[in-house]
């Protein structure tokens, strides 16, 4: 029996939590122990890295940061601590428009060159054995084997991150991972420790809005945007800097699942996304993304109503348009999953000359963390010699020995300067990597968050108000679901106090769904701005009306008309889609006496695996299937997930008549083939409020 909940538990204000301006958050009093390093040194601030000045670079001397991140990086072996479940593919990048006026990097200046690459997609929170379709951020990492060395763009399918400072990353992941005393839930954020942490860290709420949106439930890895998240610098031949953010835009548009659909897919096919990527490449339907950049100067950045060095902030495309300059095509699946997908090692510190880092404190922590975690996971500083990680351009270093050394250096010198072997590689001041010559203002180093990082609500407000009504309903419903799994009452209350600052309607909808009263709004650290709406952050409007990349399931049985099946198959394929034949049995004899092999049995291929469904069955088969629960679910789920349905007379008489399916404009008879093809290119979102209770 559950204990009685107490809504009177104290709600922490923003003054008491991860604040700004260098003020201490929690003071250890009475019996509360001090937080210390592993050496027993009391930690004064566990929220901010040590920086040269509030907006300056993070300092290497920060032993608290290094100990915390290093320990975190070595917590698990051998799978990745985060992004453990992933899949990847080989392909190429081709530049279509040169950025020669901004950078010397050949990958961004030489058009028409096809540079080989490897891309890995992943979920964040789950382990290697978790499912493909949880509500989660998706990793989007690209390793380009450029002529000037490897370039890793290590990003996500969301343009912002949860935290502003890398020192908080271990805490974020500890909070979202299975709770340590019980070992669950797996690959899920709907539990107390996650919401306790984020409700005490208001900087997380922008990424939370994305996590509760449809972006967290991609229909396919081929239908995700990718973002580099951080601001980087491009450097021209004179050392002049231009800030840049990197974007990958899918040619198939951004498309997502419905939550109920994602839950059912996880049971029917936990490998749904990786199977989709594999099959699309096998069919020659190669996934493709446009590569774009947002370019802006220091002077332009100073006029933004936010700090672009804050990783919890995006730069609206309406403010700085995305300039498309290239494309990525994935055309080959790995020959061996372990050797390539599991052993590939991405590090944001891998970049060619002509590209440099900004002073983003989260990025600075990642520059250390990714290298350190590869050393732990792959067991050797020689991980760069593994074929999937090795550069495809000439390379040479003076690194010596180490576990799993696979190179055999010749000669007697592995140091520099040296004069014994004049032909050995040495540094090149002309061609070597150059960092931006940043002028440093006099400042006071300390564990302090820049005041320009203090606004935690304006962009989440912009995100929510930019969504379509259907998407707003999905976000509110997702918050209600997640918080409905939280047992601790004051954590739910504290979360609602933040939602009020984002949008009153959102807070009301979530509170009503939970049966809770709204608390007082949390105290903001900075004025909340009403920023212009940004349609570019929507999902449904970015989903193009087309059949390419979509799959139609056709239900057949004994005696089904071969001509009708072929008519539908040909029409779907002509429109760019693909087809799978589903039947009660794996072998089916059609009306002309031919026997075909179905792709799936109906019991093993629920309609959640398809974007639209067709039924071409005879009366005797329909009567039998009308008694089968999996068949009834096949049609009912397709309707509830707003998909197009094409039905034969027998299906209408014996199956649809038993179900609460309204024959709206997306439920059509077989004769209306052209109408079905048009409907199958999208979903009927107007149907959704009729079939499920949304917050």
Which stretch of DSSP H or E encloses residue 613?
Answer: strand 612-616
Q: What is the pLDDT of residue 504?
A: 98
Give the contacts of 249 (CB within 8 A, at least 6 positions apart): 225, 289, 290, 291, 292, 322, 324
- How much is the average pLDDT of 170-177? 95
Which tokens hold the place of 308?
A: 């672009």
Please state which CATH number belongs to domain 546-691: 3.40.50.880
Between 546 and 380, the higher pLDDT residue: 546
Q: What is the pLDDT of residues 310-363, one digit of tens each?
A: 999 999 999 999 999 999 999 999 999 989 999 999 999 899 889 999 999 999
Judging by beta carbons within 10 Å of its beta carbon (0-12, 13-18, 19+), is residue 538 exposed, middle or buried? buried
Which tokens hold the place of 562?
A: 């071969």
Is 511's pLDDT higher than 50?
yes
Residue 488 CB neighbours (<10 A): 16
CA angle (175 as vertex; 451, 486 as ends), nearest 5: 105
Is 19's pLDDT higher than 50?
no
| Percent with pLDDT over 70 in the chain | 94
Q: What is the pLDDT of residue 39?
A: 64
- How much is the average pLDDT of 118-126? 97
Task: Please tell me the distance from the alpha carbon of residue 578 to that of residue 549, in angstroms, as a whole number.
Answer: 7
Q: What is the pLDDT of residues 69-121, one digit of tens each?
A: 877 776 654 778 889 899 999 999 999 999 999 999 999 999 999 999 999 99
- 178: Cα within 13 Å, side-chain hemisphere: 12
Of the ranges 72-86, 407-421, 511-525, the best mean pLDDT one:
511-525
- How much is the average pLDDT of 432-448? 78
Is 40's pLDDT higher than 50?
yes
Between 16 and 501, the higher pLDDT residue: 501
- How much is the average pLDDT of 625-640? 97
Which tokens hold the place of 693?
A: 């209770």
Strands, DSSP E only, in 82-199?
86-95, 114-123, 138-146, 149-156
- How much is the average pLDDT of 400-416? 82
Q: What is the pLDDT of residue 276?
A: 97
- The dihedrals phi and psi of 244, each to the nearest 5 degrees, come to -150, 145
Q: What is the pLDDT of residue 331?
A: 98
Give the contacts of 580 (CB within 8 A, at least 6 positions apart): 551, 552, 553, 554, 599, 600, 605, 609, 610
Strand 288-296 with 114-123, pairing: unpaired
- 239: Cα within 13 Å, side-chain hemisphere: 10
The DSSP letter of residue 256 is B
Task: Please tell me the distance from the alpha carbon of residue 595 to that of residue 593, in angstroms, as a whole number.
Answer: 7
Which tokens hold the place of 251?
A: 């040619």
Residue 551 C-alpha from the chain's centroid: 23
The CATH class for the domain spanning 63-385 reads mainly beta
Residue 481 C-alpha from the chain's centroid: 20
pTM of the model: 0.88
Q: Which residues are catalytic?
A: 83, 156
Strand 644-647 with 667-669, pairing: parallel
Task: Please tell me the distance from the alpha carbon of residue 376 to that of residue 73, in angstroms, as a whole number.
Answer: 7
Between 446 and 180, the higher pLDDT residue: 180
Contact 583, 557 (CB under 8 A): yes
What letters, b where the CB count within 10 A reaches 16 and e where it falls short, cover 562-583? Answer: eebbeebbebbeebebbbebbb
Average pLDDT over all residues of the chain? 91
Is 513's pLDDT higher than 90?
yes
Strand 86-95 with 114-123, pairing: antiparallel
- How much is the average pLDDT of 625-633? 96
Task: Please tell me the distance from the alpha carbon of residue 473 to that of residue 503, in angstroms, as a whole number.
Answer: 13
Per CATH, the architecture of 14-41+455-540 is what? Answer: Up-down Bundle (1.20)
Residue 631, SS3 per DSSP: helix
Q: Which of 222, 164, 144 is nearest to 389 (CA)?
A: 144
Task: Please tell me the distance from the alpha carbon of residue 380 to that of residue 403, in angstroms, as a whole number.
Answer: 5
Q: What is the pLDDT of residue 422?
A: 85
Judging by beta carbons within 10 Å of its beta carbon (0-12, 13-18, 19+), is residue 548 exposed, middle or buried? middle
Helix-strand-coil split of the chain, %, nearest 5:
30, 15, 50
Contact 573, 579 (CB under 8 A): yes
pLDDT band at 30 (very low <50, low <70, confident <90, very high): low
Treating both helix axes as pointing N-terminal to C-terminal, what angle do 469-484 and 504-514 enclose, rounded to 10 degrees?
40
Q: What is the pLDDT of residue 378?
A: 87
Domain assignments of the chain as residue spans, ordered by start: 14-41+455-540, 63-385, 546-691
- The dihedrals phi and psi of 296, each to the nearest 5 degrees, come to -160, 155
Is 36's pLDDT higher than 90?
no
Contact 648, 616 (CB under 8 A): yes
Is 578's pLDDT higher than 60?
yes
Task: Please tell me the distance from the alpha carbon of residue 94 to that of residue 108, in angstroms, as a whole number.
Answer: 9
Is 517's pLDDT higher than 70?
yes
| Percent with pLDDT over 90 in the chain | 75
Distance spanning both ends of the chain, measured CA to CA: 28
Between 4 and 289, the higher pLDDT residue: 289
Which tokens hold the place of 128?
A: 């290697």
Q: What is the pLDDT of residue 8?
A: 46
Task: Please tell me the distance from the alpha carbon of residue 249 to that of residue 245, in angstroms, as a whole number.
Answer: 13
Alpha carbon of 422 to those of 400, 419, 428, 432: distances in Å?
A: 19, 6, 14, 19
Which tokens hold the place of 430?
A: 């002309």
Give the contacts of 148 (CB within 8 A, at least 6 positions apart): 105, 106, 107, 352, 353, 393
Is 141's pLDDT higher than 90?
yes
Q: What is the pLDDT of residue 34?
A: 75
Q: Which of 382, 369, 378 is nearest to 342 (CA)?
A: 378
Residue 105 CB neighbours (<10 A): 22
Q: What is the pLDDT of residue 205?
A: 98
């Amino acid at each position: 029996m559950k204990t009685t909940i107490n809504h009177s538990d104290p709600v922490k204000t923003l003054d008491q939590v991860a604040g700004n301006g260098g003020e201490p958050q929690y003071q250890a009093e009475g019996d509360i122990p001090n937080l210390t390093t592993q050496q027993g040194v009391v930690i004064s601030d566990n929220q901010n890295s040590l920086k040269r000045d509030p907006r300056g670079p993070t300092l290497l001397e920060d032993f608290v940061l290094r100990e915390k991140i290093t320990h975190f990086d070595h917590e698990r072996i051998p799978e990745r601590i985060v992004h453990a479940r992933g899949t990847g593919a080989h392909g190429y990048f081709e530049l279509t428009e040169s950025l020669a006026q901004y950078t010397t990097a050949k990958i961004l200046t030489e058009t028409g060159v096809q540079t080989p690459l490897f891309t890995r997609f992943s979920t964040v929170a789950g382990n290697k054995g978790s499912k493909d379709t949880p509500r989660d951020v998706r990793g989007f990492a690209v390793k380009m084997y450029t002529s000037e060395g490897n370039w890793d763009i290590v990003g996500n399918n969301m343009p912002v991150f949860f935290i502003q400072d890398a020192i908080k990353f271990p805490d974020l992941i500890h909070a979202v991972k299975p709770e340590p005393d019980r070992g669950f839930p797996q690959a899920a954020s709907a539990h107390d420790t996650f919401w306790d942490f984020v409700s005490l860290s208001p900087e997380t709420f922008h990424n939370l809005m994305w996590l509760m949106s449809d972006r967290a439930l991609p229909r396919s890895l081929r239908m995700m945007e990718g973002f580099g998240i951080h601001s980087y610098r491009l450097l021209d031949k004179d050392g002049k800097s231009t800030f840049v953010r990197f974007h990958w835009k899918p040619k198939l548009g951004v498309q997502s699942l419905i939550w109920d659909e994602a839950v059912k897919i996880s049971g029917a096919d936990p490998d749904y996304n990786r199977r989709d990527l594999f099959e699309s490449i096998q069919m020659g339907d190669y996934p493709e993304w446009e590569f774009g950049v947002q370019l802006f100067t220091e002077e332009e950045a100073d006029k933004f109503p936010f700090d672009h060095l804050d990783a919890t902030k995006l730069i609206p495309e309406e403010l700085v348009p995305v300039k498309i300059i290239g494309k990525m095509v994935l055309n080959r699946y790995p020959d061996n999953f372990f050797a390539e997908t599991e052993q590939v090692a991405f590090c944001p510190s891998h970049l060619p000359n002509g590209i440099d880092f900004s002073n983003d404190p989260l990025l600075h922590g990642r520059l250390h963390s990714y290298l350190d975690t590869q050393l732990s996971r792959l067991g050797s500083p020689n991980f760069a010699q593994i074929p999937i990680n090795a550069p495809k351009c000439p390379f040479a270093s003076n690194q010596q020995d180490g576990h799993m050394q696979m190179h055999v250096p010749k000669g007697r010198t592995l140091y520099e300067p040296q004069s014994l072997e004049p032909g050995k590689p040495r540094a090149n001041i002309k061609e070597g990597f150059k960092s931006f010559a940043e002028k440093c203002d006099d400042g006071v180093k300390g564990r302090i968050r820049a005041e320009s990082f203090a606004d935690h609500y304006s962009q989440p407000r912009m995100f929510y108000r930019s969504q379509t009504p259907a998407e707003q309903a999905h976000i509110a419903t997702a918050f209600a679901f997640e918080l409905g799994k939280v047992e601790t009452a004051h954590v739910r209350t504290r979360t609602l106090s933040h939602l009020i600052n984002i949008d009153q309607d959102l807070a009301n909808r979530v509170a009503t769904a939970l049966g809770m009263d709204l608390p007082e709004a949390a105290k903001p650290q900075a004025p909340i701005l009403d920023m212009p709406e940004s349609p570019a952050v929507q999902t449904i409007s970015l989903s193009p009306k087309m059949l390419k990349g979509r799959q139609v399931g056709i239900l057949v049985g004994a005696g089904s008309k071969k001509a009708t099946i072929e008519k539908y198959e040909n029409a779907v394929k002509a429109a760019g889609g693909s087809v799978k034949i589903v039947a009660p049995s794996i072998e089916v004899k059609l009306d002309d006496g031919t026997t075909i092999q179905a792709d799936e049995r109906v019991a093993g291929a629920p309609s959640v695996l398809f974007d639209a469904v067709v039924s071409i069955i005879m009366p005797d088969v329909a009567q039998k299937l009308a008694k089968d629960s999996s068949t009834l679910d096949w049609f009912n789920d397709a309707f509830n997930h707003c998909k197009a349905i094409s039905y034969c007379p027998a299906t209408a008489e014996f199956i649809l008549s038993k179900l609460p399916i309204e024959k709206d404009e997306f439920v059509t008879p077989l004769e209306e083939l052209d109408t079905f093809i048009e409907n199958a290119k999208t979903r009927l979102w107007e149907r959704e409020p009729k079939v499920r209770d949304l917050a």
